[in-house]
Structure 1
Amino acid sequence: MLPCPLPVFKGKNCRFDSCPSHESPPSSLLPSLLSELGVWTALLFSVESRLQKGQLLSLVPSQLAAFCCFSENQELKIMSGKPILHYFNGRGRMESVRWLLAAAGVEFEEKILKSAEDFENLVKGGNLMYQQVPMVEIDGLNLVQTRAILKYIAAKYNLYGKDLKEKALIDMYVEGMRDLNEMIMHYPLCYPGEEEKNLNFILERATERFFPVYEKALKSHGKNYLVGNQMSWADIQLFEAILMVEELKSDILSAFPKLQEFKARMSKLPSIQKFLKPGSQRKEMDPMGLEEVKKIFKVDEDLFLKHMS
């Protein structure tokens, strides 16, 4: 139970167990009240009569996003401040965002695009800078462009290194994994008869170009994570990439003992375990879902990625 930010006003209707109950503060105390609240969200109060509902003025950072509504018939309400993810019901470019939030222990909501009308309404709303998804509502921002979203979340939740050098290393590792993820994401779109050729290309790139880099990094410094000695965005994206490649070839890590150890460590983290459980917001690989997605964006297969950033 959160401590009440306004312990000075006593009344009958407080819903907090750990503090006195409250009633509407007199208007004469409103200026000092606003000052005392600081980062807490200010509310409008009626001078002549109590409001039936509190009117939120502005949002504070998500970890402090709570606000109070006062009257005999009002309850103290808590706004979760959860990020809201706008995307279709599939992995695509949003899956790395889901992974990053989940690994950071951040709960999020999803507004799933189910039809072309849903996407058109989102565009008409004016919040899609380039008329593309993914989009994430967070801290009063409408973030678009996948890397911009990921960098913001990584920095916000201390997953982006402690200095410029570590940030550069994280960026380099992540960009490599992004190249690998792109190949895997495009794999269901390959033309009939080219599946085996494309699969072999992905596996060759994974085992000869990308995984050796991460194996060497973990071996060279002997630490549990790629950069420094704490989990970063790079580790989360590497773990996601490993799982994606294993879906294509289950023994892909047989020649990479350090990556095997890395995967085992990451799998034991509580936030990761939670996201791996059935029923989580993690999306499964579903090639058949592409038909639904193409209908949402009204594009043919060759132009499928036009509306994805």
Structure 2
Amino acid sequence: MAREWMKALLVLPMAVLAACGDVAGTEQVEQLGESAQGVLYAPPPPASGNILDSTTYLGPVALGSAVQTYFTTNPQYYSFTVQVPASSQIILEVTHAGSSMYLDTGLFVYGPKNASGSYGTTVLAQDDDAGYGQLSKLPAVNVVQGGEYLVVVSSGNGSGKQFRLQTNCVAGACVSSSLPPAPSGYQLTLTEQAITSQLSATLATGEAERDWTTASVRRFDFAWPYSGEASLAQADAAVLGFQEYQDYGYFAGTALTYPQLNDYLYSEFQPLHPQILSTYGNGWENVQVMTHYYSRAVAPGADGWFRLNVILFPQSKKIIVLEQIGYET
């Protein structure tokens, strides 16, 4: 078989992002309870008196991190909770990076949650188009009372479009944690785990489709006993530390969003793309990808094309390594 012949030739020697994101400066300060402009597509007040009931709740987001997902209907109201210490100043933004082109969003803050578990229906801060294009941004919201707040991202015509919500504190001042920060130069230690039988079956189906392409999927877990999240650079360095992947280290990686990864996969391996996300993601973390690519001769008149994708699930503390190889025949 062509694949086995090409693999035998691979023994030939070869010559040779942070979760906190960008922190805005102290721009316009917006007090809770104030609103500078009308906002489209506010969630309708429910009969229960708890605005949460008019939204699709997707889970908590830690200050200094981001969440990325898609709208699926028009209009739609996605909500997230964020814990904010008292006397803090927070930044909320639907970012240009990670959001679809021509997306129009609204951004709302409610709360804090009271003893009965309600966030009420009073909009404490809101924005329509203060971000990039028609995206939303609250550059500096003063929070006097600490507690759990509800952040709602809405769109009237966003079905099928992606958005990324970034949370932060002005100058990082309100990010507090009982955990220490990671030491400078900290390196991840990876522990390999078996992939699911479903992923194995999908991989086998893709490999059987053509005998001049091959792929592999590996799962690694890592410990993170520190505040914040592991970075894509740390994940990439840990994977390149394995001997079988060291050749990729000679070629600079390109950071991708998870949706962008699909465009770099051969068609027979694209079914792996949604399965990896649904199997290992928690539904709201910012999944990041570093891809490395090179080509080289594997036989007279025949080249091989090599791509390594390091996929970081920072909150789930997992790294998926998807390697794809094609051979010229």
TM-score by length of 2: 0.22
- Structure with higher RCO (Cα < 8 A, 6+ apart): 2
Query: Which of the two has greater helix per residue?
Result: 1
The structure with more radius of gyration: 1
